[in-house]
Structure 1
Amino acid sequence: SDTSMWRHPSRAEEAAVLQRQIAVETIEGVDVTDDEASSSILLMDEPGHMRIRGPLAKALYKRVAKCKPLIQQVVDEKLDALGERAQFDAMAGFALLVPIDAIARILDVDNTRLREFREWSEGAILSLNPFRTPEQHQQLIAALNALSSYMHELMAARRKDPQDDLVSDMVALQAEGAPLSDGEISNNLQGLLIGGNLTTTDLIGNAIWLFLTHPDQLAKLKADPSLINGAVEEVLRYESPVDITGRIAPRDMEVGGCPVKQTQSMLMSLRGANRDPEIFPDPHRFDIARKDAPHVAFGGGTHLCIGSPLARLEAQVALPAFFARFPNLRLADPDAKPQWRTLPFFRGLKELKVTV
């Protein structure tokens, strides 16, 4: 479909458009069933969307509500692994590792398969790069096929021997009558993994960078740890991990004075919407005590990011622990410009060198 790029005219109009179907790439060459290939909740509006999203959200949110100790354990392990290093890359050494291992624990991936799972997860993230090379595309196909096979393997195992994990929760709901196929469960668990790993990595990494470049805000958080929830929301608003997102027009419409035809794709700047001065007073100021800041970092409406509670929880656990472990942390080169990753549509650092 045709694509038009527009800078948001207002936060309100952009929030309305965000409720529409998401525009994403269809990847050829993945060896999955038809129902699995077409079942992503990202691609669905009603009536099919809530048929799948409802049970997945029910299971995921119930799981998130009790997994804080699990995430704390993952965070502590990653901090312990950094040891007594005088300098390290906070992205590769911490922010990248926490989300992958957290979702692996939530899915109860066997320790003997953890290295493979990490490799598949990192390969699958290439689906978010429209400019991947032919070699990267083959790596992506291999990763998606391996992940799909493993998800089906997990579901079969959990039917025979349920465990305390998200896969067991999903097959239990299926057995109780939720109208979900194995392919639909597999595809959407993979979507949770792919989308959640990258964006949560960038949420944590962006937060570390923001606090190190705004020491007054870090001091405020250390003095009052109860500010952590608001601090995470301000990071999401100020430096959204998803920079630009796409939606498909359900009908001929006008957005911000621009005519948009039915099925036409629209690209929207979430970071721009989150700096709208009509919604956010002094929008270019990073303030963790900011009140009433309804950002759209996770999208909105029907397609609000289903993994947002998990991403928030991981950041809420990871950040206080990180700064408590390294109380004198600072940027290795305070004068260096941040090195942003070149992956389109996303906002995250390639590396973040810090000195303890």
Structure 2
Amino acid sequence: MTDIVESVEATTLLDELTRLPGREDPYPRYRRLREISPVVRAEDGALVVTRHADCVAVTRHPKLGHLPSHMMEFVRPDWADHPALHQLFTSVLAKNPPDHTRLRRLVSSSFTARRVQALRPRIAQMVEDLLDRMSGEVDFVQALGFPLPVNVIGELLGIPEPDRAQFQTLVRDWTQVLEVITPEVLETADPAAATIREYLAALTAERRKDPGDDLISALVAAEEDGDKLTEEELLTMAALLFAAGFETTTNLLGNGIVALLRNPDQLESLRRQPGLAAGAVEELLRFDTPVQLLSRVAWDDLEIAGVPMSGGDRIVAYLGAGNRDPERFADPDRLDLARADNAPLSFGGGIHYCLGAPLARLEAQLAVPALLARFPRLALAGEPGRRDSLAIRGYTSIPISVG
């Protein structure tokens, strides 16, 4: 049986990850945390795991889940008074079975693989249209990384095109609460969440009166054995699908293009062999994943990595660290688009596996090879601007030259 390690070095490493210098390149710190112990205790009492196998166990263990909403008042008594927290903690993202099972089943009946694959021609056309507008030096995030996924998920949900751009800032402000919850963060996140909710409430009311061929209309109509989404469930589901539908994909595209430009041999191999796109996207997800960590609460006593954990313990799995574990991936700090047996942790696992994973993969598989084929002299035109966040890893700007 292994003991939980509490060390000054581990505490220092975890503290460094809360600041921008540590977030710029967290991977050396992850490596050292893995070397110290499979499980270390953070200063706030959370138990941190960094190995691939242990991260997998955290995502799938039946005794691990989210803190039930009725217990949130003991942790954050005023959570329901904050739109940013209420919209997050009442969503399917924070639910446990049987509520999670029910909500996921209802949304899955509308957000199907068939509906996603039907978007392939439209996504390919969107990519070409965005590439047509690029010349000289541009910001990749604003030219392709953001507009592609926001228009894809916007079209899927039925959000009118002129309304979509405003959500880049709104969603970024709202999702700050995934990183840290402070009065300053809530001052920005609460009005953003409230604006998103008000917009979706008005749009949902329109779809009830005049349904269309879009996902919000399908969610309004979704029913199984007489069970339907309540208005509250519908609004939080729509907000989550929209936010996750472009925020993480924007970061997948941005992290991926920076990784390729900094590894020109891999970029050229994909340019020469666009058929490698599916495997390449898995490697880009592994190499610099948009979602770096997830948190769970132990419902009962259990063991992870041979370490006993008690009911009520909070466990944090650093997915970004697991994706660089040398016990699972040979030479893990090397970008290798031909890597075999690749299974990145980037979309989570178990019952909470990301619903939008097929859509994110499809967008990247179409966009990245098309970008490389269109612009043979593609290059960085300056230093990318890093988003000051660890849980959601990405860039605010990526200056590129397309020639």
Instruction: Establish whether TM, by shorter chain, passes 0.5.
Output: yes
Q: Secondary structure at the match of 1:126?
A: helix
Q: Which of the residues 25, 48, 51 maps onto 1:6?
A: 48
Which of 119, 124, 130 is matched with 1:72 structurally?
A: 124
Aligned: 1:348 with 2:394: yes
Q: Once the 2 structures are TM-superposed, how far is the Cα of residue 49 of structure 1 from its aligned partner? A: 0.8
Q: Which amino acid aligns with 2:46?
A: S
- Structure 2 residue 363 is the aligned partner of structure 1 residue 314: yes
State the match for 1:289 in structure 2.
338
Gaps of 5+ in 2: 1-43
Deviation at 1:203, TM superposition (A): 0.5
State the shift of 1:328 in Å: 0.7
C-alpha spacing 1:152/1:71, structure 2 compared with 1 (3 Å): same
1:125 to 154, 169, 175: 175
1:332, 1:116 → 2: CA distance? Answer: 27
Q: Paired residue for 2:133, among 81, 93, 99?
A: 81
Whole-Å separation in 1 of the counterparts to 2:225 and 2:158: 22
Q: Per the alignment, do residues 170 and 131 of structure 1 end up closer, same or farther by CA in structure 2, a change over 3 Å counting?
A: closer
Question: Are the equivalent residues in 1 in contact too, given 2:149–2:245 (CA < 8 A)?
Answer: yes
Cα 1:339–1:31 change in 2 (3 A) is closer
**Segment drifting more, 23-32 vs 155-164:** 23-32
Deviation track 1:23-57 (CA, whole Å, cap 9, x = no partner) reads 7997553469x9x7754122122111110011212
Deviation at 1:148, TM superposition (A): 1.7
Change (3 A) 1:138 1:296: same
Instruction: Give 2:104's aligned residue.
Output: 53
Task: Write the deviation string for residues 243-297 of structure 1: whole angstroms up to 9, x where unpaired.
Answer: 1221111212232243322122111111111122222222222111112112211
Contact 1:3 1:266 survives alignment (8 Å): no
Counterpart position of 1:237: 286
- Aligned partners of 1:349, 1:181: CA distance in 2, in Å? 36
**Contact 2:298–2:309 (CA<8 Å) still a contact in 1?**
yes
2:58 maps to 17
Amino acid at match of 1:59: S
Aligned partners of 2:107 and 2:321: how far apart in 1? Answer: 30
Q: Structure 1 residue runs of 4+, over 6 Å off?
A: 23-26
Q: Does 1:247 align with 2:319?
A: no
Counterpart residue number, 1:198: 247
CA offsets 1:75-95 (integer angstroms, 9 cap, x no match): 33333333x2x2222123321
2:52/2:319 contact within 8 Å kept: no
Any conservation in 1 of the 2:49–2:315 contact (CA below 8 Å)? no
Query: Which residue does 1:226 correspond to in 2?
Result: 275
Q: Kindly state the Cα deviation for residue 131 of structure 1 after the two structures are TM-superposed.
A: 5.6
The 2-side partners of 1:297 and 1:152 are apart by 31
The share of aligned pairs that are identical, in percent, is 34
* Cα displacement string for residues 129-168 of structure 1 (whole angstroms, at most 9, x for unaligned residues): 426663x533322222222222222222222222111111
Q: Which residue among 171, 181, 188 is the counterpart of 1:139?
A: 188
Displacement of 1:317 after TM fit?
1.8
Contact 1:124-1:140 within 8 A present in 2 as well: yes
What amino acid sits opposite 1:224 in the alignment?
A: Q
Structure 2 counterpart of 1:156: 205
C-alpha displacement at 1:115, in angstroms?
4.4
**Hey, what's the Cα distance between the residues in 2 that align with 1:229 and 1:182?**
38
Q: Is the 8 A contact 1:100 1:121 kept in 2?
A: no
Contact 1:274 1:296 (8 Å CA) reproduced: yes
User: How much has 1:233 moved relative to structure 2?
Assistant: 0.4
Q: 1:124 to 1:71 in 2, by over 3 A?
A: farther
Equivalent residue number for residue 258 of structure 1: 307
Which secondary structure does the structure 2 equivalent of 1:350 belong to? strand
Kept in 2: contact 1:39–1:188 (CA 8 A): no
8 Å contact kept, 1:30–1:145: no
Q: How many residues align?
A: 346
Paired residues for 1:329-344 under 5 Å = 329-333=378-382, 339-344=385-390
2:10 alignment counterpart: none
Evaluate the alpha carbon distance shift between residue 277 and residue 123 of structure 1 in structure 2; reply closer, same or farther with a 3 A threshold.
Answer: closer
Amino acid at match of 1:87: E
Contact 2:137 2:381 in 1 (8 A): yes
Q: What is the aligned counterpart of 1:104 among 154, 172, 177? A: 154
Residue 41 (structure 1) aligned to one of 92, 117, 142: 92
User: For the Cα contact (< 8 Å) 1:21–1:303, is it kept in 2?
Assistant: no
Deviations 1:167-211 (A, max 9, x none): 111122138734321211210221122233221111101110111
- Note the aligned Cα RMSD (angstroms): 2.7
Q: Is the 8 A contact 1:125 1:198 kept in 2?
A: no
Question: Secondary structure at 2:316's aligned position in 1?
Answer: strand
In the alignment, is the contact (CA less than 8 A) between 2:201 and 2:235 conserved in 1?
yes
